[in-house]
Amino acid sequence: MSVDTQTTAAPLDAVGQNVSPRKRALTRLLSATPFYLAGVLVLMAIVFSSLRPDAFPTVANGRNILTDVSILLVMAVGMTYVMVAGGFDLSIGSILVFSGVMAAKTMGAVGGEGWLPVFAGLGVALISGIAWGLFNGFCITRLRVPALITTLGTMGAALGIARLITDGNDVRTVPLSLIKLSVDQWLGLPALVWISAAIAVVGGLHLANTRFGRHTYIVGSNAEAARRAGINVDRHLLKLYALSGLLAGAAGMMSLTRFATTTIAGHTQDALQVITGVVLGGTSLFGGVGTIVGTTVGMFISAVLNNGLIVIDVKPFWQEVAIGFILIVAVFIDQRRRSRRDRG
């Protein structure tokens, strides 16, 4: 007697009918946060294009958006790791400034216009970022200071030390080779865009496919369960904050490359923009949920909104208002999603 194993193995939907694997995959794709956020992104582009067809949908403006988002996306990759693990980091903007100042001072001390001072500055920027990240991680995991308070404190400390080093003035000792890197284009796009894309791809694959990434999700979902499973939660969090600091240091060097100066006063909103983009992308403030793909889409929503408001001549202050309210809405949606998940 034959048995129809395919029929008996197929799962049932809400009305008791069989659901094919292809339909389930399509349903999962359509309900995924990055998918409908991409729809929101396209809708925003259409609206701004219709309002300013001569300025928004142009190649030059598209290149500006990609360049604007590149530096923030690098920090957003690190923030996604931290938030998936249930953490938080407000200090990334100040770490970016501190790392940029240290890199500029180093390049000025080494001297010359070639690549040697650039590599020296890059090394110092990354070390500076890691140092601040490790300090954050140490305070949070060893001293048990809440992440919000710790990173709020280092946000002020890193920016204050950067100002002490420079007397509050921007440093412009940038070699010509670094300025050339910001001007040159590869396949029609600035090098910064490709560097940012590479970091996002590597970060996304690492988070989704490695043991380290799986441990990050487990720690964010239930830290106590992670400890009982043999994961050293404190050491893992320390590595995550070091990674966030490292990427903020890299972003500091990228900012120096783009603007050829430290722009000390120009990064006060970076942390807010990054957190908004990460939460918009589906990463939960409560940990355990999030992807780099979603973060990338979320960052582009913020960047397109900022760029579109500028293009249609809205006052810059309204951009801050919009970003603030978008963050509140994103957190509200995250809470609703978490409630549904807990009930399910």
Distance CA 118, CA 104 (A): 9
| Residue 299 to residue 305: CA distance in whole angstroms | 10
What DSSP string runs through 2-61?
---HHHHHS-B-TTS-B--HHHHHHHHHHHSHHHHHHHHHHHHHHHHHHH-TTTSSSHHH
Is the pLDDT score of 1 beyond 50?
no
With tokens 């496919």, the residue in question is: 209
Strand segments (E) across 183-322 = 185-186, 189-190
Dist CA 26 CA 39 (whole Å) = 16
DSSP state of 321: H
| Separation CA 326–CA 83 (nearest Å) | 18
Q: How far apart are the first and last CA of the chain?
A: 39
Query: Contact at 8 Å (CB) between 325 and 279?
Result: no
Beta carbons within 10 angstroms of residue 170's beta carbon: 16
Counting every residue written for the chain, the total comes to 344
How far is residue 69 CA from its own chain's centroid? 10
Q: Report residue 30's pLDDT band, with 50, 70 and 90 as the boundaries.
A: low
Check if the beta carbon of residue 105 is closer than 8 Å to that of residue 261. no
Q: Give the other-Cβ count within 10 Å of 327's Cβ.
A: 18
pLDDT band at residue 321 using 50, 70 and 90 as cut-offs: confident
Q: Name, of 18-27, 28-37, 255-264, the range with top average pLDDT.
A: 255-264
Answer for the pair 324, 106: CB distance below 8 angstroms, yes or no.
no
Q: Are 275 and 148 in contact (CB under 8 A)?
A: no
Give the predicted TM-score (pTM) of the model.
Answer: 0.86
Kindly give the interhelix angle for 59-84 and 92-110, rounded to the nearest 10 degrees.
110
Nearest to 70 by CA among 249, 327, 251, 266: 251
Q: At residue 203, does pLDDT exceed 70?
A: yes
Burial class (CB in 10 A: 0-12, 13-18, 19+), 270: buried
The secondary structure of residue 212, as a DSSP letter, is: H
The pLDDT of 288-301, averaged and rounded, is 91
Q: Is the pLDDT of residue 156 over 80?
A: yes
For residues 318 and 123, the answer to whether their CB atoms sit within 8 Å is: no
Rounded to 5°, the CA angle 216-221-224 comes to 95
Confidence of residue 312 (pLDDT cuts 50, 70, 90): confident
Question: 193 pLDDT band (50/70/90 cuts)?
Answer: very high
CB atoms within 10 A of CB 212: 14
Give CA–CA dist 98/105, Å, rounded.
Answer: 11
Instruction: For residue range 220-261, list pLDDT tens digits in order.
Output: 999 999 999 999 999 999 999 999 999 999 999 999 999 988
* Beta strand residue intervals within the chain, DSSP E: 185-186, 189-190
